[in-house]
Every structure is written in structure tokens, then in C-alpha cells.
Structure 1
Amino acid sequence: MEADRIRGLDGIRAIAILGVFYTHFVDGDSLLGDLAVRTFFILSAFLITAKLVALRDAEGFSFAALRSFYTRRALRLLPTYYAMVLALAAIGLVTIRDGLFYHLAFLSNVWFAMNMNWHPWVLAHIWTLSVEWQFYLIWPLVVLSCANRSVALVAAGAIAIALAFWLGCYVTGYYPDNMVLWSPFSLDAFGVGALVFFHSGMLARPVRTRLLAAILPAALWGALQLVETDGRPRLLLVVDFLLQILPLLPMAILIAITASGTSPIINRVLGARPLAYLGRISYGCYLYHFPMLWLMMHLMWRLFDYPLKRGIIQLVVVAIPTIAFSALSWEFFERPIQKWGAGRQKAPQAKITV
């Protein structure tokens, strides 16, 4: 079974998209959205590394192998993405002055970081997709041309680079919101995801011990986030920085356990059909949720003279049509493209070692 066909992993995607919904629709100060995005990064790196290793072992490093990888990624991600961006441009929500060409070139993170604002806000969320595509430009070259041990060392180096950037912010005191939009700040999540693939056996067993070892330090990190930083000694800020990677550990272990199948209970819960299906359509949910928010805000105002403000009502009013539209997009647009692409080429199976 291919790694991305494991239903439990779709369940993790579903939980992550619900975390994004909660932060964007209910509580903008919640950490759930940030943790959800980092979960997507970890899971993406995990699955992509698995596929690339299988491709390398089957075909070696070649232009054909690179073309095969990028063709599959493009067929999965680009049609829906460009359909959404161009539709927003057609109705005037995104113009050239709003960085249309940046968004089309998957440089949205650069656009928002340079302008230090979130305009146009209907595309504010796609900076994460730009970061992911920038990762895709480099990582296939690394995995296809190196042995597993070297790839793991590069992944560890990526984590070190991200931590170095975080440390620079803490030490200099320069920490504007737009800094995290630059790709190096997300390398820790991608590096962790790649390492999960190579060390999934160690992370998955024994389940209880690994979960406890990850949850305790992550809980410490969460507690520190509740403490005001103003007036705190610089040493404590540096310690806070050193704990930055801790929240990634529970996610990494959960992904390893789920992919390995060592916990039937976790797989049964995360693999439940409704949750797994939501995870399967989570890409569409992520793409469409801000445009759907714009649409529902206008509809609620024009039809009912009601300002749709952040809260549970906004969550219900926007999330439900977003999920419904994403399901339609998957069944009648994304899935047919996937089937067409699968008929043209057969990808090597990605095996998860445990």
C-alpha cells in the first residue's frame, strides 16, 4: 500500500485542517493553526521522501525520475490551485498589483513578506503552498542523488538551519510576523518529516513510551507560550527558542505510529471513514476556505444584513460549504485528473520500514 493511501494519515490531515479552520474562523490567537500547518509540512516531507526513495531505488537518479516525480506532484496540486487563483483574478479579487504573478509562480510567501501585510487576504493562506513548492525544488535532487544516510544528514542539517534562523530572531530581538514566511523557518518541520521516514521503526515502538517522551516536553513548550515575553531575561528567551522544535515531536511520532500500523486503536480512530474522507479532500478545504469566507461574508451581509464575525457561527457558516465544495472538487475535478495521470505512469511503491 502506498504511504499516502494509509487512511490513518488521511485522518491526521483531517485533524490538521480542522485546526486551521478553528484558528482562522474562531480564534485568531490560537496556536492550532500554526501547529496544523507544521503537521502538513511534516506529513508532506514524510510522504515525499518515501516516494522519492522508492523512485531512486527503482530508477536511480535521472531526468526521467525527476520528470516522473514532478509530473505526479503537478497533476495533484497545480490544476486546483491555478483554477482557484485565476477564478479570483477573473472576478477582480486578485490583480497584478496584488502580486498575481507572485502567486502564480508559487512565491506568495515572498510577496507577503516583502510587503509586510496580508493583502490580498483571500490568498493569505497560500504562502504555505509556496513554501512547500520551494521545498520540492531542492529535496528531490537530494534524495535521488544521495544514499539514505546522507539524506538523513541533510534533513538534520535542515533542522539546524531553521533553528539557527529562529535563534537569530531571538538573540537580535527582531521578530516581525512576516519573518516566518521565509522558507528557512519551515525547514525544521520538513527535516523532521524526512527523518520520520528513516527512523519510523524507532519512533513507532514502544508506542506508550514514545508518546510520553514526546508529550511531556511539548507540554512544557506549550506552557512557555502562555508566559509573557516582555521583561524576561535573554537567557530564558534563548531557552524558549531551544524548545521551538518540541511541538514537532508528538506529530512525528503519531505519523510514524499511524504509518507503521503498530497501534490498531489509533489506526481505527484516525482511519474512520468520515475523518479519512475529510483528510482526502483536505487540500481543497485548505485552498478554498478563505475564498469561501469572502463569499459567505458577502452573502450574509447582502441577504441578512448580518456581519459575519469570527466565532462559532463563522466556523459553521463557512466550514460546511467549504467542505461540501471541496468534496465536489475532489470527485469531479481532482480525482479524474488523478486517475488520468495514474493511467499514464505507474509510480514505484513507497515502503515504510518499521
Structure 2
Amino acid sequence: MANARDIQLDALRAVAVTLVLYAHFLAPGGSSFLGHLGVRLFFVLSGFLITRLLLDARDTDAFAAGPALRSFYARRVIRIFPPYFAVLALVWFTDLEQSRSSLAWHALYLSNFWYALRNDWNPWLLCHFWSLSIEEQFYLAWPLIVLLAPRRHIEAITIGVIAFSLAYRFYWPITADPALARDLLPPASMDALGCGALLAVRRARGADVPRWMRLGWPALAAVFLLVVWSDPGPADSAWEWPRWLLVQVLPLVPLAAIVAACSTGLGGKLGKLAELPPLLGLGRISYGVYLYHPILLAYAVKAQPWIPLNVSEQGPGRFLVAGATTLIAASLSWALFEKPLNSLKRYFPYVQRARTPGATRWISPAAAGSALDLRHTEARR
């Protein structure tokens, strides 16, 4: 069930979005493996939390698949759509960076397909929508599996999804084609989402993270850093494809192990650090930070003549100005827009009240406790 220590997962969201901001505002060359790592951490978190919510709903006495599915989709719409489509409306109204021609793809959560089919990152200010599209595609399909598939098969299905995603990666070295599709189509991210989901499935049956994962993830993280910092060599070198594969796969176990540890609550100094109010606050507004940051950067670049710091290039000036603007906008969005709308989720409970002839009663105490846990966990989603 949901644990009060889950607040540490907000700290992980803060870490993930900080890595993305660093990559897009400060890292030399405009890109960094840290940004990629931040997105992968978001995927593991999403796979874990969504799967756990659905399994918790399924375990209640009053569970019914139809109402649970309707509530899940309604709650996702309430949480995700308003700020997302507000951004699209702003981009359409201003035609920022001549983005109108692609807005239909973004509105349908097909941004990843737009960029993959064109093999190009234009319009650049909406290129981060690819990961939001991946998540929405996951939200559309995964609840059907978790809530409708036979319970005894869900873990095997999850492992199969991870295996399929890993196999998909090996297709690209065979074709020797480094197209954007290798990273943007849904199978390329199902391994991270699946690892989070597998963690939730194992937890639901009382199993913890395997011992080899708890002991081995630091070594895998160290190898990952060595690979990232290694010289990629010239294009088409013998090291290019193995390096790409290792950068994609090696972080999966460390990220899953970190999510597992924070979901049960880190102790000691690390636990206190993970519960610092500024970190938790950043985690709560991380969706807005991720959503708004390239849009606000585009406006900052246009306003460069009136800004004393250099925001047109990667560096401290861009990080300070665009980063501060993003945090302010995301904070206002959360307080005035997103949080009030989230209150509507109470009309869409995962588990409905149970009624008996001539009387109204709540579900059993065990089921009621599960439903309460669901509400507490979902309030942070």
C-alpha cells in the first residue's frame, strides 16, 4: 500500500527535472546525458506509481474494472490536460518559432512520431513533448493490462514488455541507422516504464528488490559513468553502437533500485536530505517545470536585447534567467491552476461505495484503508 514515506519520490522528481534543466540551460553544447537520465528517471517513477495505484485498486474488496478504468482516465485528464493544452494554445496564438504546422500532432500526443518521422527536432521548443507523448501512450494502454489481465500473468507480461524493448534496441545496430526513431518510438522507453512497473508488481506480491540489484546497482552506475565519459570515437566506429546500447541499458537497474529505496523511505542523512521542503516543493511542481521550460526559454531568447545576461547561449545567464522564470511560472501554475483542478479528482474514486439493501455503508475497513492510501498517493501525481 501507499507509504507516507512516498514523499521522498517527490525528491526524485526534483532531481529528474533539475537534470533536464541543466541539460537544456547550462550544459555545454546544448545537450547532456544528464537530461536523458532525468527523463529515464521520470519513466521509472511513472511506471512504478501508476502500476502500484492500479494494483492497489484491484486489491480492494469493492474493485470493479470498469469504474476503475474510467476513474483512472478521468484523473489523468484532470492532472495532465489543462496545463498541456494551455501551452499549446499559447504556442498557437503566438505561432512561436512557427510551430503551428505541427500542433495537431502534439495535441494528439503524437509528438514522438512527429519528430521520428521527420528525423528532425523542429520545432525545437516543443521537442520535449516527445516524452510526454510516450507517457500518455503508456497511460492509454497499460491500465487495460493491469486491470483486465489475469493477475497471475501480470508479472510475466511486464517482463515480456521489458524484454521486447531491449530487443528493439538491438534492431538499430543491425540496420546501422542512427535515426531519431530509435529513441522516440514507444518501444524505446518501455524498458524504463516496465522496470518501474515490475517493481510495483513485485511489491504487490510481497517481494522486494532482488539482492543482486540492491548490491550491484552502484557498480552498474559506475560502469555507466565510465561509458558516458569515454571517447565515442568517430562516426561508424566499432565503439559507437555498443556505447549507445550501454548508455541506454546500464542506468535501468540503478534507477529502479533508487526508486525502490525512496518508496520505502531512506533513513539517516540521505532521508533527511530527500525530505527537505525546497526539494519536495520542486518535485510537486516538476510537471509544470518540465512543460514550460523550453517555451519560456524561447521567449527569453526573443527578449535578449532587454536582458543584461546572455540567455541566447548555454551558460550561467540562461540557467539563471530561464530557470528562475520557469520556477516562478510553474509555482504559479500549480497554486492557481493545477492544484485547484486536482480537487476534482474526488469525484472519480478508483473504488466505489458499496451499498446494501435499505442501508448505505462504506466498503470494508481493509478496503477503506486501501482507498485512503490510493487517494494519498494520487494526490502527489
TM-score normalised by length of structure 2: 0.83
Structure 1 residues 10 and 91, CA gap change in structure 2 (3 angstroms):
same
Identity %: 34
Output one character per residue of 1:230-265: Cα deviation in whole Å (capped at 9) or x when no partner: 46548x955873674221111111111111125344
Q: Which residue of 1 aligns with 2:89?
A: 86
CA–CA distance in 2 between the matches of 1:172 and 1:238?
14
Give the AA of the match of 1:49: T
Query: How far off is 1:137 after superposition?
Result: 1.3
Q: Check conservation: 1:171, 1:238, Cα contact below 8 A.
A: no
Spell out the pairing of 1:63-142 with structure 2 (5 A cutoff): 63-93=66-96, 98-142=101-145
Q: Which residue of 1 aligns with 2:302?
A: 298
Query: How far off is 1:85 after superposition?
Result: 0.8
CA–CA distance in 2 between the matches of 1:295 and 1:117?
22
CA–CA distance in 2 between the matches of 1:84 and 1:119?
17
CA–CA distance in 2 between the matches of 1:96 and 1:168?
32
Spell out the pairing of 1:146-165 with structure 2 (5 A cutoff): 146-165=149-168
Structure 1 residues 219 and 171, CA gap change in structure 2 (3 angstroms):
farther
Q: How many residues align?
A: 348
Structure 1 residues 3 and 335, CA gap change in structure 2 (3 angstroms):
farther
Residue 338 of structure 2: which of 301, 312, 334 is its match? 334
CA–CA distance in 1 between the matches of 2:34 and 2:310?
27
Structure 1 residues 302 and 250, CA gap change in structure 2 (3 angstroms):
same
Give the AA of the match of 1:10: D
Q: Which residue of 2 aligns with 1:33?
A: 35
Q: Check conservation: 1:160, 1:188, Cα contact below 8 A.
A: yes
Q: Which residue of 1 aligns with 2:327?
A: 323
Query: How far off is 1:115 after superposition?
Result: 1.4
Structure 1 residues 61 and 345, CA gap change in structure 2 (3 angstroms):
closer
Spell out the pairing of 1:275-286 with structure 2 (5 A cutoff): 275-286=279-290
Structure 1 range deviating more: 296-305 or 332-341: 296-305
Structure 1 residues 158 and 4, CA gap change in structure 2 (3 angstroms):
farther
Structure 1 range deviating more: 108-117 or 50-59: 50-59
Partner SS state of residue 250, structure 2: coil
Structure 1 range deviating more: 63-72 or 328-337: 63-72
Return 5+ residue gaps in structure 2 as ranges.
Answer: 351-370
Spell out the pairing of 1:174-213 with structure 2 (5 A cutoff): 174-200=177-203, 203=208, 210-213=213-216
Output one character per residue of 1:196-249: Cα deviation in whole Å (capped at 9) or x when no partner: 11335765687xx85541021222133223232546548x95587367422111
Structure number with bigger Rg = 2
Whether 1:53 aligns to 2:51 is no
Q: Which residue of 2 aligns with 1:22?
A: 22
Give the AA of the match of 1:167: F
Structure 1 residues 239 and 341, CA gap change in structure 2 (3 angstroms):
closer
Whether 1:228 aligns to 2:250 is no
CA–CA distance in 2 between the matches of 1:18 and 1:308?
20
CA–CA distance in 2 between the matches of 1:294 and 1:239?
32
Output one character per residue of 1:9-55: Cα deviation in whole Å (capped at 9) or x when no partner: 00000010000001111123420000100100000010000111122
| Backbone CA RMSD of aligned residues | 2.7
Q: Check conservation: 2:11, 2:283, Cα contact below 8 A.
A: yes
Q: Check conservation: 2:20, 2:38, Cα contact below 8 A.
A: yes
Query: How far off is 1:185 after superposition?
Result: 0.4
Q: Check conservation: 1:281, 1:327, Cα contact below 8 A.
A: yes
Residue 315 of structure 2: which of 311, 316, 323 is its match? 311
Partner SS state of residue 37, structure 1: helix
Partner SS state of residue 118, structure 1: coil
Give the AA of the match of 2:288: G
CA–CA distance in 1 between the matches of 2:173 and 2:274?
37
Q: Check conservation: 2:218, 2:254, Cα contact below 8 A.
A: yes
Structure 1 residues 55 and 282, CA gap change in structure 2 (3 angstroms):
same
Output one character per residue of 1:132-171: Cα deviation in whole Å (capped at 9) or x when no partner: 1111111001000134442121111111111111101122
Partner SS state of residue 119, structure 1: coil
CA–CA distance in 2 between the matches of 1:120 and 1:178?
16
Q: Which residue of 2 aligns with 1:258?
A: 262
Structure 1 residues 34 and 243, CA gap change in structure 2 (3 angstroms):
closer
Q: Check conservation: 1:8, 1:268, Cα contact below 8 A.
A: no
Give the AA of the match of 1:272: L
CA–CA distance in 2 between the matches of 1:309 and 1:33?
17
Return 5+ residue gaps in structure 1 as ranges.
Answer: none
